[in-house]
Every structure is written in structure tokens, then in C-alpha cells.
Amino acid sequence: MNQEKKHQVMMSGTGGRGILMIGRLLAEVGMNQYQHVSYFPNYGAAMRGGSSEVTVTLSDDEISSQAIFNPEVVLIMDHSFFKPMEARMQAGGTMFIDSSVVSAKGERNNITYHYLPVTEKAIELGNVQVANLVMLGAYLEATKAIPINAVEKALEKRMLGTRREALLQLNKEALNAGAKLLVGSEN
């Protein structure tokens, strides 16, 4: 079970990279673990290649606002979001950065940075499209917001008996690979 009563995370990337999917997955699984859950997607008109952002709040207390202006935790999967998000971060916050696509390094000394080769790991696993799940696995390992096995069960429920069932094992491997990437990622 979760250790804290509230987890807020903002995820940013390019449309088509699965940011909205992992945000929704996190929110759906969170409904079984928390009393209140908020899923707040924000994306441009382009289905692929446009800006994509989602905020998820998991809480045992009521959620006063879906929007987060100064996030505590951010997942970055595109270089164009790094500097703007870094500027908005709360002191003491944590950034998870896909170092396969973001070469910039953080400049603040009051933020924890995790540079994770998420896309590279997804390619090693055999499918670049699971990079989002690699990132989610790292986030879950760091925060313990939701157990990874709860997300695996949700994926089973979504995928078993569908045409995507063949990808289930890969998705689980991606989650666990992300958790393993976290070791040694702090700067």
C-alpha cells in the first residue's frame, strides 16, 4: 500500500509517446488505492507530435484543484519540456528525465534529477513504444505511490483477450525495467 496520503505527478511529452496512456493507467489503478483521484490531460490538436501533458493526483484527502502550477514531481519525455518544467518545479521536487531524448542537464540545486535512458531501454526490450511504461516503472519505484504489481494486474485486465494480449509480457517487462533503471540515476 502507499506510504503517503497524496501523490501528484505531472507528465510531459510529445503526442504519440504514451504520456496520456500512462497517466490514465496511473489514475485508474489509483482509484483502487486512494479515496480521491484526479486525471487532468492537456494536449494540442495534433494527434502525434504535438504537446502532451497530464497531471495525476492520488489522495486520501479531497483534491482542491486538478491543475498543478508548481509540480513536486515531473516526468519528462521530450527535450522541449525540460527547461519550462524545471523553472516551475517546487523546491525539493523530483524530475524524471528520459536522457535518451533530453540532453540538457538541470541547473537547480534544490531538485533531485533522475536521468534515465528510458527510450534506449525500450529499444533494448524490442519496442520503442514501451518507453512510457519504462518511465512509469521508474516513477513507481521511486515514489511507491502504487505497487508495480497493481499496474501489471490492470494491464492484464485491459489486454487479456484483446489483440494487444501479445504485448502484455513486454509491457510488464518495461515497467520492471524502469524500476531497475532508477538505481544510480541521481546526479
> pLDDT digit string (tens) for 151-168?
999 999 999 888 889 999
Please report which confidence band the pLDDT of residue 68 belongs to, taking 50, 70 and 90 as the band edges.
Answer: confident
Q: Say if CB 176 and CB 140 are below 8 A apart.
A: no
Q: What is the CATH T-level fold of the domain 6-181, as seen in this structure?
A: Pyruvate-ferredoxin Oxidoreductase; domain 3 (3.40.920)
Q: For 128, which DSSP code?
A: G
Q: For 161, which DSSP code?
A: T
> pLDDT digit string (tens) for 102-143?
999 999 999 999 999 999 999 999 999 999 999 999 999 999
pLDDT of residue 1: 43
> pLDDT digit string (tens) for 40-52?
998 765 555 567 8
CA distances from 131 to 97, 109, 126 (A): 12, 27, 10
Three cell numbers at 150?
Answer: 497493481
- Residue 152 main-chain phi, psi, to 5 deg: -60, -40
Domain ranges of the chain: 6-181
**Spatial distance between the Cα atoms of 64 and 77, rounded to a whole number of angstroms:** 27
Among residues 174, 164, 155, 161, the alpha carbon closest in space to that of 25 is found at 155
Angle between helices 131-143 and 118-125 (to 10 degrees): 120
Q: For 183, which DSSP code?
A: T
Compute the Cα dihedral for 20, 40, 154, 118 and give only its sign.
positive
Rounded to whole angstroms, the maximal C-alpha distance in the chain is: 48
The model carries a pTM of 0.91
